[in-house]
Amino acid sequence: MLAFSLFDLIALIFFFGAWSIYALTMEWTAHGRAGLNSRMNNYRTAWMQRMLERDMRMVDAQIMASLQNGAAFFASTSLIAIGGALTILRSSEEFLTVASSLPFGIVVTRVQWDAKAIGLAVILVYAFFKFAWAYRLFNYVAILLGATPPHTQKDTPQAARHVRRTAEMFASAGRHFNRGQRAFFFALGYLGWFVGPWALLATTMAIVAVMYYRQFASDSRHAVRDD
């Protein structure tokens, strides 16, 4: 049996509860729609509308390529991180020896350590799937960009529908990319559980506080406060 303490289970429930509540708040509430991520969706739509009016669209293609490269980078990083989590799982004895010699003295059995390592790997696998899907969606957006009607047809109903569907696909790609990044951040908070339940509670609250600040009180949020 894993024999985790009640406090461990409470801390783990708090971790996943905080993740779920934060995600639901950002994506499904009016408060979340005032955040930086949601505000940037407005600019995705504005970009598609401006792009429709341009005759030459090379700059749009270059920006799209940079977004695709960003998603590909994070997907590749996720695979490396998964490998690191599996290394922790494979080398449990070595890590436990090092952990027990640290000043704060981590006390944990090998089975518990392995269970924690598997949990970390699962979170990183989730992040990989989100980044990989976001990359694929960015490819779809690039295809839709290529299918955009010429600027001479910018006032037609067909062009308006195309801009709307492209913006919606763009927003979906950004949403999945954001979910992948959120998983990365919470994976950092999850590392606190390797120290103990108190550390997991502290790192979870710290991660939520940092992400909330960036969404609602950061300089980047203030830059789009009047849109």
The string of pLDDT tens digits covering residues 80-130 is 999 988 888 877 777 667 666 666 656 667 788 888 999 999 999 999 999
pLDDT at site 219? 93
pLDDT at site 114? 85
pLDDT at site 216? 94
How buried is residue 18: exposed, middle or buried, by Cβ count under 10 Å (0-12/13-18/19+)? middle
Global pTM value: 0.90
pLDDT, tens only, 160-176: 999 999 999 999 999 99
The sign of the dihedral angle between the CA atoms of 207, 209, 210, 212 is positive
Average pLDDT, whole number, for the chain? 90
59 CA to centre of own chain: 26
Distance CA 169, CA 3 (A): 46
Lowest mean pLDDT among 5-19, 38-52, 88-102, 125-139: 88-102
pLDDT at site 1? 46
pLDDT at site 227? 62
Check whether 47 has a pLDDT greater than 80.
Answer: yes
Lowest mean pLDDT among 2-6, 29-33, 49-53, 107-111: 107-111
Domain ranges for the chain, please list them: 6-223
CB 79 within 8 A of CB 127: no
